[in-house]
Amino acid sequence: MPELPEVETTVRQLQPLLRGRRVQQARVHWLRTLGGQSARDLAQAVRGRRVVGVRRRAKWIVIELDPAQDPDPAIIVHLRMSGRLVVLPHTQPAGPYARVSLRLSDANSLHFLDVRKFGRLRFTRDAAREFRELGWEPLAPEFTAEVLGTGLKTRRRLKPLLLDQNVVAGLGNIYVDEALFMAGLHPEVPAHGVRSEKVVRLHAAIQSVLHAAIQQDGASFDAFYRTPQGQPGRFQAQFQVYGRGGLPCRRCHTPIRRLVVAQRGTHICPRCQRAPRRHGGR
């Protein structure tokens, strides 16, 4: 599933293919991808506008358009489960999963492909405003261990907290499991009970797993995530726990366990990540 590293890889590869081109036409093949925006509004808003850059905010891809009179105009894209962005020559069909296609002023089109239709693409006049509720960028210099520690001052359980995009923005199921393993923390411990030296470890784990995954162009363990150039990521080879239920822990050889936390498949080493004490047990 695309999370921060996969989105970052997509942004980096898209940038040289899009910057400087104009959007000539928008075609919508699946309306709900626009999340309520009308196909006409999208088409009218983007027609003729130049792409001035491509950036990332959390798991959002931000295709920046020339300002005109808007504060921060952009086409914003969330890949959710199975979304992909690809750039193909006009003449090449995008296949049955194309949900939105943008014809560019060079010989190419940008297609948003999405098998499961959970992804979103729409125009906004003010991208920064759209994202103001989002939490910390985990790779930004301002996101320090101290800042993370402040975010952990809550009774909520650790994993659901880290998945909350309004706290830390960009982590998903895979990288949370990997970071918790690296830090030796159980996903169900109350966040406020994590001691400060463990907070430091967790902060380092989050940053290092994200950096490592970006270096490998993200992770592809199913049919879905591919870079815009069609290549799978390579980080899945370095998963320590995710998807490794029943396999031996790479550190201590205890079998990795799969549990469900907040409706999410969750992978831990029961020895490296001690279970929290259950209160109210009887």
Partner DNA sequence: CTATGGCCCTGGTTGC
Partner DNA sequence: TGCAACCAGGGCCATA
When the beta carbons of 17 and 194 are compared against DNA, the nearer one is 194
Alpha carbon distance 65, 51 (integer Å): 5
Q: Which of residues 168-227 bind DNA (CB under 7 A)?
A: 172-174, 223
DSSP string computed for 238-265: G-SSTT-TTSBPTTT-PBPEEEEETTEE
The CB density around residue 251, as the number of other CB atoms within 10 Å, is 13
Choosing from 59, 99, 159, 201, the catalytic residue is: 59
- Kindly tell me the sign of the dihedral angle through the C-alpha atoms of 198, 202, 208, 212: positive
- 3 noted as active-site residue: yes
Choose among 70, 64, 60: nearest CA to 10.
Answer: 60
Q: Which of 154, 207, 216, 238 binds DNA (CB under 7 A)?
A: 154
**Sole residue written with tokens 């792409």:** 51
Alpha carbon distance 113, 109 (integer Å): 12
Q: Which of 81, 145, 147, 204 binds DNA (CB under 7 A)?
A: 81
Alpha carbon distance 129, 122 (integer Å): 14
Q: Which stretch binds DNA (CB under 7 A): 63-71, 157-165, 226-234, 273-281?
A: 157-165
When the beta carbons of 53 and 243 are compared against DNA, the nearer one is 243
131 near DNA (CB under 7 A): no
Q: Which of 50, 78, 103, 125 binds DNA (CB under 7 A)?
A: 78
Q: Which of 19, 27, 50, 80 binds DNA (CB under 7 A)?
A: 80
Residue 240, φ and ψ in degrees, nearest 5: -90, -35
When the beta carbons of 115 and 204 are compared against DNA, the nearer one is 115
Q: Which residues carry out catalysis? A: 2-3, 59, 264
Binding residues for DNA, per CB under 7 A?
1, 3, 32, 58-59, 78, 80-82, 115-118, 154-157, 160-161, 163, 165, 172-174, 223, 262-265
